[in-house]
Structure 1
Amino acid sequence: MTTNPYKNASRHATRRSERCVRATHWARTIALLSIGVSAICATNVAHAQEFSLFAGGSRASNVNTYTWAFNYQEGLGEYFAASFMWLNEGHIPDHHRDGQAVQFWARLPLDERRFVLQAGLGPYRYFDTTTAQQGGSYSDVHGWGVVYSLRAMYYASSRWITQLELNRVHVQRGPDSTGVMLGVGYQLDAPDGPGPRDWALPRSSNVTNNEVTVYIGKTIVNSTSSPVALAGAIDYRVGLLKWLDLTVGYLHEGSSDIARRDGITSQLWATRAFLDDKVTLGAGAGVYYAIDENENSPSPGPGDGKFSGLVSISGTYRWTDHWDTRLTWNRVVTHYNRDTDVIVAGIGYRW
């Protein structure tokens, strides 16, 4: 059989075009996430910082499920605030959905600032593992939505906060949800007495100079069966600005029942330091280039050389001037139904 060289050339050109479209999509998504996360920190003045954990119940498609969230908030004066939230909406029928939201809040302090009412909204970048979609056993669906929130906060002391929050989530594809959560918060930049701090003193130096960290942890594939594998990583982190870091690293996701993957990562991080710079928190977005990938499942494999998105949250405890412990939760965002959560802990050296 004679091979038509023009037909093959056209096929290769089409594949290259598809790769370019996918790369452009991920670049646009990552840029939007980076802008949203960085907007909270991008001023010359550091604001009051609060970190909170939430848990509760949610309802979607006439079914009750659980919901939980991590939330980081900064004050923008007495009556306004901004926050970054990683929200998990639980197990909606045929949907396992979570994602990141950047919200802007109007707030009203009462009772000598011990009691605060807040109303907020903002964009929601969600990741949804759905069943029986696109001809397969599951699909990793990505999209944009909006989160509307009401929050009541009681400042029991200069550090501790108890909270009640109502969320309404509206998304492009899939069911909307309504959740109620109780939360416990901690003011990392505490005022002298109870109540939220509106403003804090500016930093005089970068949060990070140079840091190399070696990690070990586990990979969880975002599928209906959620297989796990042993993961490892190493990265180099450098401070670009007082609130902005850059990392370059290598990620090995291990070998699960579905796939084995490893490659090069790079991210920009909005980052903050607290408690005399002993504790840091950061949110990052960037790219992940898989230099080696093999499918362990019967379905066709994507092969090597694939770009994916990478969204992460990370925290450190600095126990000496040079050594720290870091915990990082990475979300690998693919276009071929192989999203993963890679949760790793490591030891870092700073200089």
Structure 2
Amino acid sequence: MGQRRPYPNHHRDGQSAQLWGRMPLMDDRLELSAGAGPYRYFDTSQAEAGGNYSNTHGWGAMFTLRAAYYFDNRWIAQMRLNRVQAFGGPDTTALLFGIGYQLDAPNGHGPRNSAPSRTANVTGNEVTVMLGTTVLNSLDSETNLATGVEYRRGLWRYVDFTASYLHEGGHVQSRRDGVAAQLWATRAFFDDRLTLGVGAGPYLSITQNDDLPQNRTGDGRFSGLVSLSASYRFTNRWLARLTWNRMVTRYDRDADIIAAGVGMRF
């Protein structure tokens, strides 16, 4: 979730995992629900001392109220109110409107009661070559070309493992080449044509050319990598993949790497 605040030179976004309770109404067509859970935020702001900006990481809690109307053709209209209580940062409230689509066919009116089960792994073996852009999480959001290669293997029905190489581009403030290992939670839809997944794991920088304050070059060797990915399988052999990566550093060089590519299944 991204947040713009009424303060100059500030941008905060982050991820949240929530538990929900829901109340169906009108023969399951209308649903009122509430959720709560931890919130991990990433805040880019003007540096207080030294450097042009800083990437601050912190924790908070997010509380959500949601009203959703389910149409007969899987489409959903919804309104959502988010309240973020940030530890060490300003609290915010956001009102959002949106539309959604049920990827699994519902049992009747409203949301599906439970997800369909499967016996086989979502993923076998895949190799994907990717091309995209790196966006440095600075106040100017500098961009550059990014490339990568990913090997993906299914470990269990809904769990994948990936080993990848990333080249983050050659911007004057941040140029990194490195390898990452991630575990993924993955689901397949539409007769296994479409897959969606979320992954996380460590990133090791092999080549690093960062303009770091106070010569803190050692801080950039290991980072975290959090990712969202979607793939579409055209045939039993070929697929297209789109992935958003968030590089989480300890030295004010967080970056978003958005890449798409073509892969082969075997």
Scaled by the length of structure 1, the TM-score of the pair is: 0.73
Higher mean displacement: 269-278 or 127-136: 127-136
Identity of aligned residues (%): 54
Higher mean displacement: 303-312 or 314-323: 303-312
User: Among 184, 187, 209, which residue is 1:272 paired with?
Assistant: 187
Residues in 1 aligned to 2:249 and 2:220: alpha-carbon distance in whole angstroms: 12
1:288 maps to 2:203: yes
Q: Is the contact between residue 158 and residue 191 of structure 1 (CA under 8 Å) also seen in structure 2?
A: no
Residues in 2 aligned to 1:253 and 1:271: alpha-carbon distance in whole angstroms: 25
Q: Is the contact between residue 66 and residue 81 of structure 2 (CA under 8 Å) also seen in structure 1?
A: yes
Q: Is the contact between residue 227 and residue 257 of structure 1 (CA under 8 Å) also seen in structure 2?
A: no
Instruction: Spell out, residue by residue over 1:199-247, the C-alpha distance to the aligned partner (whole angstroms, 9 max, x if none).
Output: 1331111110111110000000001111111000001001111111000
Partner of 1:116: 31
Residues in 1 aligned to 2:94 and 2:125: alpha-carbon distance in whole angstroms: 41
Instruction: Spell out, residue by residue over 1:131-176, the C-alpha distance to the aligned partner (whole angstroms, 9 max, x if none).
Output: 1334332110111111100000000124100000000001112111
**Which protein has the larger Cα radius of gyration, Structure 1 or Structure 2?**
1
1:346: Cα distance to partner?
A: 0.7
User: Among 236, 249, 256, which residue is 1:321 paired with?
Assistant: 236
Task: Report the residue type matching 1:258 in the other structure.
Answer: Q
1:106 maps to 2:21: yes
1:193: Cα distance to partner?
A: 3.3
Residues in 2 aligned to 1:91 and 1:130: alpha-carbon distance in whole angstroms: 11
Q: Is the contact between residue 237 and residue 247 of structure 1 (CA under 8 Å) also seen in structure 2?
A: yes
The 1:255–1:297 alpha-carbon spacing in structure 2 relative to 1, beyond 3 Å, is farther
Aligned positions, number: 265
Residues in 1 aligned to 2:22 and 2:84: alpha-carbon distance in whole angstroms: 20
Residues in 2 aligned to 1:330 and 1:241: alpha-carbon distance in whole angstroms: 23
The 1:92–1:322 alpha-carbon spacing in structure 2 relative to 1, beyond 3 Å, is farther
The 1:190–1:289 alpha-carbon spacing in structure 2 relative to 1, beyond 3 Å, is same
Stretches (4+) displaced over 6 A = none
For structure 2, the 5+ residue unaligned runs are none
For structure 1, the 5+ residue unaligned runs are 1-86
Residues in 2 aligned to 1:296 and 1:123: alpha-carbon distance in whole angstroms: 33
The 1:299–1:343 alpha-carbon spacing in structure 2 relative to 1, beyond 3 Å, is farther
Could you say what secondary structure the match of 2:148 adopts?
strand
1:130: Cα distance to partner?
A: 1.4
Partner of 2:4: 90
Q: Is the contact between residue 219 and residue 250 of structure 2 (CA under 8 Å) also seen in structure 1?
A: no
1:277: Cα distance to partner?
A: 0.6
The 1:97–1:170 alpha-carbon spacing in structure 2 relative to 1, beyond 3 Å, is same
Could you say what secondary structure the match of 1:295 adopts?
coil
1:218 maps to 2:218: no
Partner of 2:251: 336
